Amino acid sequence: MEAKKIIPKTVIVTGASKGIGAEIVKQLSQDNYQIVLNYNKSETLAKEVQKQLIQNGKKVEIFKADVSKREEVKKLIEYTLKKFKTIDVLINNAGISQVKLFTEITDEEWNTMIQNNLNSVFYCTQEALPVMINEKRGCIINISSIWGITGGSCEVAYSTAKAGINGLTKALAKELGSSNIRVNAIAPGFIQTQMNEHLTENEKKEIQEEIPLNKLGTTLDVAKCVKWLIEDDYTTGQIISINGGWYI
């Protein structure tokens, strides 16, 4: 009998030149996934991640696209289909942060936040969906934040965008269940990446002391949950908060 050919799953990870996204790419590549690593500004970093993985025989393509712009998202999807013919998993990870008093946020800053952190999820998901609906399978994972659940002082715009992601996740999971497409979000607490580099060591220590597990999160903590969500097949519409017990 002819052996059944195992086709690797195709995954798009947005905003994966560094931090959580880069770690997700590294972890998934260990398991035979074929990946499109999206980046916007950090081309050198994206190329470094790709080079390291390709040297180890992994299938990783990189593609520059500003996911806050629909036209660029369309090109990202077209490129993925050209390279790998299908899209099985979409990980909406790209995001920016801003710490500022609510009273001082300008219209432009507010719009930039919503465009990058929420509209990007709308564009990527909408553009990737036709192929998933056609295949009657798919997995969408949105990287949200603890602040989208509980609200962060001096991070109102960020919290609003992430709360929007949570709403989108739940509603879309209901709409897409009959197409066998699962939609979930991961809402990390404090993860050690460049996003938090503006904090002093002392401020980080204070945060750590507020966390019941008494440690800051790592990119690997998030990547492990992503992997689990891809492999699972009965979880949808959930916001999974990886936060060491910081928010329960």
Query: In what helix (H) or strand (E) does residue 13 lie, and over which residues does it extend?
Result: strand 10-13
- Burial (0-12, 13-18, 19+ Cβ within 10 Å), 126: middle
Residue 125 within binding range of ligand NAP, rule CB under 6 A: no
User: The dihedral of CA 208, 27, 186, 93: what is its sign?
Assistant: positive
Quick one: 44 or 178, whose CB is closer to ligand NAP? 44
Give 33 or 123: the residue with its C-beta nearer to ligand NAP.
Answer: 123
Q: Which of 30, 52, 153, 194 forms a contact with ligand NAP (CB under 6 A)?
A: 194
Q: How far is the CB of 97 from ligand NAP (least distance, A)?
A: 6
Nearer to ligand NAP, 133 or 211 (CB): 211
Which residue out of 33, 79, 123, 158 is catalytically annotated?
158
* Least distance between ligand NAP and beta carbon 211 (Å): 12
Name 25's Cβ contacts closer than 8 Å, sequence gap at least 6. 13, 16, 35, 37, 49, 53, 60
Minimal CA–CA distance to 9: which of 123, 139, 134? Answer: 139
Distance CA 68, CA 246 (A): 30
Interacting stretch for ligand NAP, rule CB under 6 A, among 81-89, 92-100, 125-133, 203-211?
92-100
Q: Which residues are catalytic?
A: 158
Residues near ligand NAP, by CB under 6 A: 14-21, 38-42, 66-68, 93-97, 116, 120, 143, 145, 188, 190-191, 193-196
